[in-house]
A = this chain, B = another copy of it.
Amino acid sequence: MKKVIIYDSTLRDGAQAQGISFSVEDKIRLVKKLDKLGVDYIEAGNPGSNPKDLEFFERIKNTSLKNAKVIAFGSTRRVNISVEEDANVKSLLKADTPAVAIFGKSWDFHVTEILKTTLDENLKMIYDTVSFFKSRNKEVVFDAEHFFDGYKANPEYAIKTLKAACDAGADCICLCDTNGGSFPNEVFEITQRVVNEFKVDIGIHCHNDTGMAVANSIMAVQAGAKQVQGTLNGFGERSGNANLCTIIPNLQLKLGYSCIPGENMKNLTAIARYASEVANVLHDERAPYVGKNSFAHKAGMHADAVHKNTTAYEHIDPELVGNQRVFLMSEVAGRSAVLNMINQIDNTITKDSPETKLIIEKLKEMEYKGYQYEGAESSFELIIRKILGKYKSFFELCEFKVVVNEPSVTTANSSAMIKIKVGDQEEITADEGDGPVNALDKALRKALVKFYPEIMEMKLTDYKVRVLDSKAATASKVRVLIESTDSEEVWTTIGVSTDIIEASWYALVDSIEYKLLKHRELQE
């Protein structure tokens, strides 16, 4: 099997998408997931343009990865200064990664009209920057920005920019369709010419502005490209980047290339969903391979035929990518994924154990109510523990009351009173906050800390709200996700209700119970 190098840019180019912004914590978690999936490179930030990325690179240095190399991304040096003086270049060095990606202009129009410099100076900028990093023993990928548009406008000059990078010792040259306007046949022909002309590995980086980023990437590989750049779920600016969740199975399951270790392919759907959760965007349920609808058959002819023979209306077996066949209006959920989670808590349980059946029934019941445990595994773990008898209740809610007053200039317009019981002891207290959920959160912790001082170690780090079935307007169900951390672990819990306070309450209680359970088990 021919190897294709998978270069993920979810954390860098993916973060250019409208509405997506990753925290340092988000990035660390995604790096670990991507490494586990088995991608080869993780382009994780642009330290020159985003100073907060330096904190990330500082932290990631101490994280050991199995498969992937972390790569920092930055521009060639600026016009008419020396590489050593360039602030971006310095930031890139400071990121201290084993590899760097340097982007430079391949389109003459961009050189003269945007950079406002000469074509020669641009070639020098490429040469200088790449050779600088090679002299510092970095692996260097050269991203030829706007290569295809540049090649169509002035092929000779576009090729010269690649040559400058090659001469400077670049390890890989990546052809970028930055504006995303290219067509598959063009990408094939142009890539083929470059592959024939250069000895170094050629990469491809596509955008989806004509809806063909996946096809363009595939055609480039068929023309001889060895590296594919893209993002999970195609996250990216405008219409997005090439979607690795489509490209990887296309290449590996259908064309016989090797992209990631074969045994990891079944984790693809889970990681795609996880990335959507972390990015806080609705997962695209129509997405090839990894959407909930991708193997959904409507009642009638197609469904009947699929019952007779699954290949009748399915291009692959959905289990290969960890997805599942759905006959709409029927409920068949992923038993093996659930069993996997159960076994992490009790490995004596099998798929035929009565507990498994109870847990799956509970899962269906909760999903029906609007719960969705992908991305909120800690809440699901609590359900499993309850059914397996591996759960302990830490407190009982007697009563709470939240009062919200009309908007005012003072910050705390909400107050919460709470009464709980721990064993035989009752505790009643109150607090105020920015809105009702914040007030309730603060009051609950205040009531509990006397019994469980360890909750001081935890803090809430993320709060997400999604309206389900929003057509019911202000009476709609909402799903709340709360992410918490205690500096050792990050966990996410969920609550669903038509009342946002109630939904937040459920997620809050799960989060605290999860922490207390973990603490107790460590003590034992």
Contacts and interface: CB of A to CB of B under 8 A. Distances in A.
Interface in A304-318: 305, 308-309, 311-316
Interface in A197-250: 208-212, 214-216, 218-219, 222, 234, 237-240, 243, 246-247, 250
A465 interface: yes
Copies in the complex: 2
Interface stretch (A56-64, A353-361, A475-483): A475-483
Residue from A434, A474, A500 whose CB has the most chain B CB atoms within 10 Å: A474
A15 B497 CA distance: 25
A466 B19 CA distance: 10
Interface string A450-489: 0000000001111111110011111110100011000000
Contacts of A470: 280, 462-464
A499 B436 contact: yes
Interface stretch (A28-36, A77-85, A176-184, A514-522): A176-184
Interface stretch (A262-270, A283-291, A340-348): A283-291
Contacts of A246: 210-211
Contact of A23 (B211, B285, B471): B471
B467 A315 contact: no
Interface in A393-418: 397, 399-407, 413-414
Interface string A65-105: 00000000000000000000000000000000000000000
Given A209-B315, A464-B467, A501 B436 contact: yes
Contact of A499 (B212, B215, B413): B413
Given A401-B405, A501-B435, A210 B254 contact: yes
A474 B467 contact: no
Given A179-B315, A239-B294, A474-B433, A222 B406 contact: no
B286 A239 contact: yes
Contacts of A460: 473-474
A407 B239 contact: no
B475 A438 contact: yes
A283 to B, nearest CB: 12
A505 B407 contact: yes
Contacts of A305: 110, 114
Nearest to A179: B315
Contacts of A114: 305, 308-309, 312
Contacts of A404: 401-404, 436, 499, 501-502
29 contacts: A18-B293, A18-B296, A18-B298, A18-B328, A113-B308, A113-B312, A114-B308, A178-B313, A184-B219, A209-B294, A210-B254, A211-B288, A238-B295, A239-B288, A239-B293, A400-B406, A402-B404, A404-B404, A404-B436, A407-B506, A414-B499, A434-B475, A441-B473, A441-B474, A459-B473, A460-B474, A463-B467, A465-B466, A473-B482
Given A238-B296, A460-B473, 6 more contacts: A18-B328, A208-B286, A212-B212, A212-B215, A399-B405, A436-B500
